[in-house]
Structure 1
Amino acid sequence: MNNAKMWLVVKPTVGIPLFLSAVAISSFLVHLMLVLNTGWMADYYKGAFEEAAVITASETDIA
């Protein structure tokens, strides 16, 4: 382990849960920002995404 000396400063009982909590919180925030900042995500959850895909497919068949 390259960072073995880190555990001399931070106890594993504190460091490991802190690290895992930071990963979980950052993952949640990334997914939250994805849902809030994309227009197609809300439409997808409402069920309108399938209609848009069908309209797009039929428009490409006509052209």
Structure 2
Amino acid sequence: MNNAKMWLVVKPTVGIPLFLSAVAISSFLVHVGLVMNTSWMYDYHNGAASAE
């Protein structure tokens, strides 16, 4: 494994939850950005038909 020496600096009990938390937070922010910046997403979640 190429990154084996990383665990000499950061313990896996700290590094793995930190990494997974960063992935979850960034995913949440991407989804919030999509909802806030699209005009059709609000209607879609409320069950409205497409205007096209």
Equivalent pairs counted in the alignment come to: 52
* Structure 2 gap segments, 5+ residues each: none
Larger radius of gyration: 1
1:16 counterpart residue number? 16
TM-score by length of 2: 0.89
Higher helix share: 1
Name the structure, 1 or 2, with higher relative contact order (CA <8 Å, separation 6+): 2
Give, in whole Å, the separation in 2 of the partners of 1:5 and 1:38: 44
**Offset of residue 51 of structure 1:** 4.6
Give, in whole Å, the separation in 1 of the partners of 2:20 and 2:50: 40
> What root-mean-square deviation, in Å, do the aligned CA atoms of Structure 1 and Structure 2 show?
1.1
Give, in whole Å, the separation in 1 of the partners of 2:50 and 2:30: 27
1:61 counterpart residue number? none
1:40 counterpart residue number? 40
Runs of 4+ in 1 over 2 A off after TM superposition: none
* Structure 1 gap segments, 5+ residues each: 57-63
Counting aligned pairs with the same residue, the percent is 81
